[in-house]
Amino acid sequence: GVGVKLVSACLIGVNCRYDGKSKLDRKCLKLFKKRELMPVCPEQLGGLSIPREPAEIKKSGKVLTKNGKDVTKNFNKGAKEVLKITKNLKIREAILKSKSPSCGLGLVYDGSFSGKLIKGNGITTTLLRKNKIKVITEKEL
């Protein structure tokens, strides 16, 4: 096997989402219990609080909260911290939460806070893929 994989912490039941809740995925929890996953929350690692205002990626590439606060630096820092963890632990694969502005793969919210999705990846997903880490979402498990 390829060893331990990264997982978005909210998928194994950690209450780290913007709304203070998790997004528990049974398959992820099962793998975690088998010690196959290393949980991380890039937004938490980027210094954001729980709960926090929801944020989306704008067309400009900046990440803004619903009230217009620029949290791009937090998102970038979180992505870098996650990348560091993958390097330290020699992790090659990640299972990340779909649609998130940090963790999403293929589809993310369009920046209008209206629930609309567009093609694109989260900030952490983009950095991991640039560094040859394979990313899938919980939906491909």
Site of interaction with ligand SF4 (CB under 6 A): 8-10, 16-17, 41-43, 97, 100, 102-103
Nearer to ligand SF4, 1 or 37 (CB): 37
- For residue 126, the minimal CB distance to ligand SF4 (Å) is 13
CB atoms under 10 Å from CB of 88, counted, come to: 8
Distances (CA, A) of 20 to 4, 59, 91, 98, 119: 26, 27, 27, 17, 26
Please give the distance of CA 82 from its chain centroid, rounded to a whole number. 9
For ligand SF4, the closer of residues 1 and 27 by Cβ is 27
Cα-flanking dihedrals φ and ψ of residue 93, to 5°?
A: -135, 150
Q: How far apart are CA 102 and CA 39, in angstroms?
A: 14
Residue 26 phi/psi, 5-degree rounding, is -60, -40
Shortest Cβ distance from residue 74 to ligand SF4 (Å)? 10
Q: How far is the CB of 131 from ligand SF4 (least distance, A)?
A: 17
CB nearer to ligand SF4: pick between 1 and 32:
32
Query: Shortest gap between Cβ of 60 and ligand SF4 (angstroms)?
Result: 20
Q: Which is nearer to ligand SF4, 1 or 102 (CB)?
A: 102
